[in-house]
């Protein structure tokens, strides 16, 4: 079979526009693809302890073949690398490589490595260029595009960061072959999100093709990544800094999801994408309960997310932990979410599949009732 040709999607930002290239075999072509964008023939690749042994050497070789000097720095895999102390160690590790303002950082990994490296690039020597080479489905369809970078503090996730756009995103679809199934499924929730926000035709495509994509159909994966990146590029180009409600729509499922993640400790018990999946089902349920959305649409969303295997029932999260969930605690986490303005809860609600909107006036009694029912279900 002839390998698919890569597809290029432009993120159209005045003065800072960049391409997202989606396709197979891009790690081995990265040096040649990046070289024209580099201010100097020197890059520092940041990766994690799982991804570096899989793809680090090939990426270094690809840069060196293109005449670019490449160093590789490895951080621990997982969210702990977004802590302040880990960030400090990374900055010193980067400075050990004697970078100058023309050095480019390359993020090779999932959303953790991308967020961390992007923020490091924003502040290293007051700002150097960076390139994203996302290796999880979540990072390929969401976190590597749009320039949100940052790290975590004891006050919460991503509360220290910068809007800082990459110069290029290379989404090599082959690397998803080594991604654990659970991580692939978590990333798939973010794919479905684009259909639910404003593209009912894409949601119907997900219903028909999601299982095949998750079983490894390369053409379906590539199509889903392209459609997701097209949607994200369009939204980011229109509202880069979330100054209108447009980019905020990308937070569909996130207010609920954030509360679930906060309660489960932002770790392996509930992955970010899993939390978004459960959160989107809850956003549809709340919208239906408020009379905003047809109950049949909420049922369709729950059916699809459940059918592909995402954990939706609260009691299925972290084992038989039913007693741990309390509506009041979940609401407190929602209030602490950085999307809440002036203490008002902010939700992305829906009028149906593909009709998301931002609401800052949710009736708290209805919310509480919905959460009590979700805990009991």
Residue 50, CB-side half-sphere exposure with 13 Å CA sphere: 13
Query: Distance between CA 129 and CA 109 in Å, rounded?
Result: 17
**Minimum CB distance to ligand NAD, residue 201 (Å):** 24
| Interface positions with ligand GLY (CB under 6 A) | 142, 146, 148, 247, 250
Contact partner, 50, from ligand NAD, ligand GLY, none, Cβ < 5-8 Å per class:
ligand NAD
Please provide residue 271's backbone torsions phi and psi, each rounded to the nearest 5 degrees: -75, 160
**Minimum CB distance to ligand NAD, residue 98 (Å):** 27
Query: Has 126 been annotated as catalytic?
Result: yes
234 vs 329 by CB, closer to ligand GLY: 234
Please provide residue 310's backbone torsions phi and psi, each rounded to the nearest 5 degrees: -75, 140
Query: Has 315 been annotated as catalytic?
Result: no
Query: Has 247 been annotated as catalytic?
Result: yes
| Interface positions with ligand NAD (CB under 6 A) | 48, 50-51, 54, 77-79, 82, 109-113, 115, 135-136, 138-139, 142-143, 146, 148, 157-158, 175, 178-179, 183, 272-273
Contact partner, 247, from ligand NAD, ligand GLY, none, Cβ < 5-8 Å per class:
ligand GLY
Retrieve residue 98's tokens. 């004697």
Q: What angle do CA 75, 81, 83 make, to 5 degrees?
A: 145
Query: Has 254 been annotated as catalytic?
Result: yes
Query: Has 232 been annotated as catalytic?
Result: yes
Query: Has 272 been annotated as catalytic?
Result: yes
Contact partner, 165, from ligand GLY, ligand NAD, none, Cβ < 5-8 Å per class:
none
- Of 29, 42, 82, 148, catalytic: 148
Rg (CA), the chain: 20
- Of 254, 302, 304, 333, catalytic: 254
Q: Contact 330/264 with Cβ under 8 angstroms?
A: no
Dihedral of CA atoms 216, 217, 223, 228 in degrees, nearest 10, equals -20
Q: H/E element holding 172?
A: strand 168-172
3-class state of residue 67 by DSSP: coil
Instruction: Give the residue numbers marked as catalytic.
Output: 126, 148, 190, 232, 242, 247, 251, 254, 258, 272
């Amino acid at each position: 079979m002839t390998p698919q040709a890569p597809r290029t999607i432009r993120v159209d930002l005045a003065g800072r526009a960049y391409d997202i290239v989606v396709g197979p075999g891009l790690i081995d072509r990265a040096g040649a693809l990046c070289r024209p964008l580099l201010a100097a023939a020197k890059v520092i690749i940041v990766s994690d302890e799982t991804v570096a042994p899989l793809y680090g050497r090939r990426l270094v070789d690809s840069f060196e073949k293109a005449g670019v000097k490449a160093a590789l720095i490895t951080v621990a895999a997982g969210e702990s690398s977004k802590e302040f102390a880990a960030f400090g160690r990374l900055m010193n590790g980067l400075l050990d490589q004697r970078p100058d303002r023309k050095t480019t950082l390359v993020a090779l990994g999932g959303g953790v490595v991308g967020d961390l490296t992007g923020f490091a690039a924003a502040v290293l020597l007051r700002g150097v260029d960076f390139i994203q080479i996302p290796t999880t489905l979540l990072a390929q369809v969401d976190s590597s595009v749009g320039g949100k970078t940052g790290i975590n503090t004891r006050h919460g996730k991503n509360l220290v960061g910068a809007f800082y756009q990459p110069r290029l995103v290379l989404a090599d679809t082959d690397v998803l072959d080594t991604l654990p199934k659970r991580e692939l499924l978590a990333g798939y929730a973010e794919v479905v999100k684009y259909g639910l926000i404003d593209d009912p035709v894409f949601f119907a495509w997900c219903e028909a093709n999601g299982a095949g994509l998750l079983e490894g159909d390369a053409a379906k994966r590539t199509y889903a990544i392209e459609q997701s990146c097209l949607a994200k590029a369009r939204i980011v180009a229109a509202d880069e800094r979330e100054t209108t409600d447009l980019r905020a729509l990308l937070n569909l499922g996130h207010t609920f999801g954030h509360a679930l993640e906060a309660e489960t400790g932002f770790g392996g018990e509930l992955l970010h994408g899993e939390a978004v999946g459960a959160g989107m089902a809850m956003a549809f349920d709340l919208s239906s309960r408020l009379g905003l959305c047809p109950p049949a649409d909420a049922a369709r969303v729950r059916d699809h997310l459940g059918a592909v295997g995402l954990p939706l029932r609260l009691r299925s999260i972290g084992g038989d932990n039913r007693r741990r969930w309390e509506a009041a605690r979940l609401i407190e986490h929602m209030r602490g979410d950085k999307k809440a303005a002036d203490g008002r809860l902010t939700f992305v609600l829906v009028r149906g599949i593909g009709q998301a909107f931002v609401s800052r006036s949710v009736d708290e009694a209805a919310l509480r009732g919905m959460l009590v029912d979700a805990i009991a279900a």
